[in-house]
Chain A
Amino acid sequence: MATPTISVAAPATPVLMPQVAAAELSAAVREALSNVERHAGPAARAWVLLEDLGGEVVLSIRDDGVGIADGRLAIAEAEGHLGVSQSIRGRIADLGGTVELVTAPGEGTEWELHVPTGGQA
């Protein structure tokens, strides 16, 4: 997934998880990254971090773009056209995981997706 504008950080050893979870998680990352491409501004870079906490996998997607203004997400959600946020939240919720979204104007956007992998990974 790494490109000149996307940096990927991960352990040297493979992170194992059920196939369904892996597919959903990678779809969620792709959605978050395409959102960066569309909304973060032309100069934005993105970083993906994959962590294996043993029993839980954490995927973080951060960009240094324009960020999302306070309340902007809620407005979009109310208007019913917040495809990305909803889609990512839905995918992760289906896996029994949680989503944190941190953003502020000028501060970029940071997703943290926590997904249980069941027992020791």
Chain B
Amino acid sequence: MVVDDHPMWRAGVARDLEERGFEVVATASDAPSAVRIANAVRPDVVLMDLNLGVQTGVEATQQIVAARPETRVLVLSASGEHADVLEAVKAGASGYLLKSASAEELANAVNRTAEGAAVFTAGLAGLVLGEYRRMATEPAGREPAPELTGRETEVLRLVAKGMTSKHIATRLDISPRTVENHVQSTLRKLQLHNRVELARYAIEHGLDADQH
């Protein structure tokens, strides 16, 4: 399923994917219809643009994944949307690709996303590293911030320096599978923390509303 507010881009991406053997089950042009349609057609993978107007792709991602956690969301973003990409990943997206990627790279990324792998570019690894470090310096909240293990930090740094899983595996003398697992784990911890915080926020605000 392809979500983007630009009709020509949407059509172009859908065509590229179909030419490479994917079935595009639906398209959507804004966040509310993306959420509604995804719930109805249950796509394996949602390609999500972030810049969708009033409600963003981040909100759509969060709602789609909340409604059906097995849906994989791959963010396709323009460059320079760093903070939004990070939010989308925290909201449950399992990877991101720049819109400047080739049709070939897109097809590979969709395949990997469908298989359950995290599509990590060097840029995303840098963002995730930065987010863990930011959380570590924040005053302790009620939910303890997740931390990276030494190995996870090591792997993320190498991904951020542009190394492939294979290359990282050789350098650290572990299997490429283990490299992927470390990368996945850094995402899962971040997403879990985000869900717990959102739930707490909702409960606190719900209670507030009752009292007034």
Contact = CB atoms under 8 A, between A and B. Distances in A.
Interface of A: 2, 4, 7-13, 45-47, 49-54, 60, 62, 64, 110, 120
Interface residues of B, number: 25
A52 B122 CA distance: 16
A2 B82 CA distance: 13
Given A7-B121, A7-B122, A12 B127 contact: yes
B133 A51 contact: yes
B125 interface: yes
B17 to A, nearest CB: 23
Nearest to B126: A9
A13 B124 CA distance: 13
A47 B130 contact: no
Chain B interface main SS type:
helix
A62 B171 CA distance: 15
B126 A10 contact: yes
A10 B124 CA distance: 9
13 contacts: A9-B123, A9-B161, A10-B127, A10-B130, A12-B85, A12-B130, A12-B131, A13-B130, A45-B162, A49-B122, A51-B129, A52-B130, A60-B161
B40 interface: no
A7 B82 CA distance: 13
Interface string B104-127: 000000000000000001111111
A119 B161 CA distance: 26
Nearest to A62: B161
Contact of A12 (B79, B82, B121): B82
B137 A9 contact: no
